Amino acid sequence: MIGNWIKRMATLQAAVIIVILGWGAWQGISAIRSEAAQRRLAPTLNLDAFLAGRFAAAVNHVMAHNLPVDPYVRAAGGFFRWRFFDSGGPQVRVGCDDWLFLTEELRPWPDPAEAMRERVAGLARIQERLAAQNITLLVAIVPDKARVHAEQLCGAPLSAQAQGRHAELVSAFAARGITPIPLLEPLRELAREKPAYWRTDTHWNQDGAALAARRIAAAARGLNIERPGGFTTRFAAEETNGPGDLLRLMGLDIIPADWPDGWRPAPDRQHLATTTAPAAGGGGLLDDDAAPQVALIGSSYSLNANFHGFLQEALGAAVTNLAQAGGGFAGAARTYFAGATFREAPPRVIIWEVLERAMAQPVGEEERAFLRQ
């Protein structure tokens, strides 16, 4: 009888091992067959890459990042960190009332004053060259979410460097004769009444974006640009979830937003805004061959919360949006000034939206070469 029990347990153990091995094989095969994995592996499918170890490194990366189970593992880890340790992981700091903040805004950076001076000096040189071409450059600093909504940090550590960074940046601009369009105090005033940034996302929300657009448009009021008007912003009747890039960094975006409280921070809610342009035709200013007289370069803030639409409506003029998500301080500018759009159809006004937190980060070699041109 004992012998039969041992045999049954051995059979069960073997079956479990087979299932685990089969499940692991399925995970690996699915990972290898994914589109992202194929893109990473393609350049290494040759003898040189194999002998140099690049193929093995690519396979290791695929196994670490493209397994079908990976999102669920990250979500489980993110849930336990957030729910039991009040932590958002290495990239996110948890405030109060489901407010989340990007760690980049809170941490100190090496030699921030020199990085700010170098960037501001480069921007001043660009401004002088543009002025020689009768192009006006307007600069707007997007303040950190943690600065505008500091009361929601609730004990999250804010470095001394971060506390004084905005004032130091404004001083660095003043030393080069540049006065950025003031956005910090208006956004703080708005934040005393209602949120100006999303709780679970890095960016300003639609209220913050609209306010910033109006302030920038006011600064451009006396400039020589034609303003045909006719831009109209409408808000969707249905309320939907807002963005949540910080939830993605925590691994919690996979958890459904309609699950009970306590499984993830509650989603932001919005009535999605959309701005439409006036109809072109009849030889008017908005014909297809009439290039916009205003260009917008900057960060992902210019690509979110309908900021571009609000800006066109507030200006009463079309704006070419050339902002880049993840481009840092100069990514969009480098691409724009080197491209055909600027060379063949230079605008009358360029609005350069810069992130406060990006200005103090170390300057890379490619960016340094661009700034010293």
Where exactly are the structural domains of the chain?
2-68, 109-371
Q: Give 280's contacts (C-beta < 8 A, 6+ positions apart).
A: 286, 287, 288
Q: What is the pLDDT of residue 108?
A: 94
**pLDDT tens column, 45-79:** 676 655 555 666 655 554 455 544 455 556 566 67
Greater model confidence, 82 or 365: 365
Question: pLDDT averaged over the chain?
Answer: 84
Contact 297, 350 (CB under 8 A): yes
222 vs 208, higher pLDDT: 208
| Separation CA 118–CA 335 (nearest Å) | 19
Cα(312)–Cα(319) distance, integer angstroms: 6
The predicted-structure confidence for 288-307, as pLDDT tens digits, reads as follows: 456 789 999 999 999 999 99
Counting residues of the chain whose pLDDT is more than 90, the rounded percentage is: 64
Q: How far apart are CA 208 and CA 140, in angstroms?
A: 14
Burial 334-350 (b: 16+ CB within 10 A, else e): bebbeeebbeeeebbbb
pTM for the model stands at: 0.81
Regarding predicted confidence, which is higher, 75 or 242? 242
- Count the neighbouring beta carbons within 10 Å of the beta carbon of residue 53: 11
Q: What is the pLDDT of residue 55?
A: 61
User: Which of 80 and 38 is assigned the larger pLDDT?
Assistant: 80
Read off the pLDDT of each residue in 105-117 and give the average, rounded to a whole number: 95
Cβ 296 vs Cβ 351: under 8 Å = yes
Q: What is the pLDDT of residues 330-367, one digit of tens each?
A: 999 999 999 999 999 999 999 999 999 999 999 999 99
| Best CA proximity match to 312, nearest among 330, 325, 298, 293 | 293
Asked if the model's pLDDT at residue 122 lies above 70, the reply is yes
Secondary structure of the chain in HEC code, one letter for each residue:
CHHHHHHHHHHHHHHHHHHHHHHHHHHHHHHHHCHHHHHHHHHHCCHHHHHHCHHHHHHHHHHHHCCCCHHHHHHHHHHHHHHHHCCCCCCEEECCCCCEEEHHHHCCCCCHHHHHHHHHHHHHHHHHHHHHCCCEEEEEEECCHHHHCHHHCCCCCCCHHHHHHHHHHHHHHHHCCCCCECCHHHHHHHHCCCCCECCCCCCECHHHHHHHHHHHHHHCCCCCCCCCCCCEEEECCCCEECCCHHHHHHCCCCCCCCCCCCCCCCCCEECCEEEECCCCCCCCCCCCCCCCCEEEECCHHHHCCCHHHHHHHHHCCCEEECCCCCCCCCHHHHHHHCCHHHHHCCCCEEEEEEEHHHHCCCCCHHHHHHHCC
User: pLDDT confidence of 3, banded at 50, 70, 90?
Assistant: low
